[in-house]
Amino acid sequence: MNYHFDFGVLLNYAPMLAHGVLITTELTVIGGGLGCVLAVLCAWARTGGPAWLRRPIGAYVEVIRNTPFIIQLFFLFFGLPSTGLKLPAIQAAVLAMVINLGAYGTEIVRAGIEATPRGQFEAGASLGMSGPEVFRHVVLLPALARIWPALSAQIVIVMLGSAVCSQIDVQELTYAAGFIQSRSFRAFEAYFGVTVIYLALALLLRLALRVGGRYLFPGQNLR
């Protein structure tokens, strides 16, 4: 092997990599946060919501879970403009991540809600609470605490999946790698370096979610 590695070339592009990390983080925080909200709403609608909502949400979950993220992204970014809705790349990317996480999250949160003992619902009702009130004040928090590890894992998967957003010219980490590669012809160094950054981000995100879980669900028995 006559190849001489030159990882120093990455240092020349440090600002670009930092910007990439920033955008990837932004996508993850906004997409992850809104995705979780969508997941909770859909899970509520599927378990306790009106009957006419259950079928469409079931269809949404199945369609998203059985098609690749990249096609969902392309459909939103390239396909929707022909219906008159033109989104900037970064908004399309966030929307795709929210829709994607929303579908996987719905099933995860639903499992948490369904694991709630019947007595909890009955206890809430006997206090005179309405269905949504029981959900909001009695069921939701323990259910979320129960499935938090699974939801965290899904958020990490969505973060790693955001690498694809470079394909619609969102200037996140993978985009930076492609740019460095095209300028310096150091393809291996560029992609290897960025892969290491992704690994660090994934570990940090996992840690943040574990700490966040303790803060969000105080007193709940978190694993």
Residues that bind other proteins (CB under 8 A): 1-3, 62-63, 65-72, 74-75, 78-83, 156, 160-161, 163-164, 167, 174, 177, 187-188, 191-192, 194-195, 198-199, 202-203
What distance in Å separates the CA atoms of residue 175 and residue 194, rounded to the nearest whole number? 10
**DSSP string covering 25-81, please?**
HHHHHHHHHHHHHHHHHHHHHHHTS-HHHHHHHHHHHHHHHTS-HHHHHHIIIIIGG
Structure tokens at 171: 């200037």
Please say which residue, 74 or 217, places its beta carbon nearer to other proteins: 74
Please say which residue, 134 or 194, places its beta carbon nearer to other proteins: 194
Minimum CB separation of residue 99 from other proteins in Å reads 12
Minimum CB separation of residue 3 from other proteins in Å reads 4
Please say which residue, 56 or 68, places its beta carbon nearer to other proteins: 68
Minimum CB separation of residue 67 from other proteins in Å reads 5
Please say which residue, 47 or 135, places its beta carbon nearer to other proteins: 47
**Residue 58 CB burial class (10 angstroms; 0-12, 13-18, ≥19):** middle
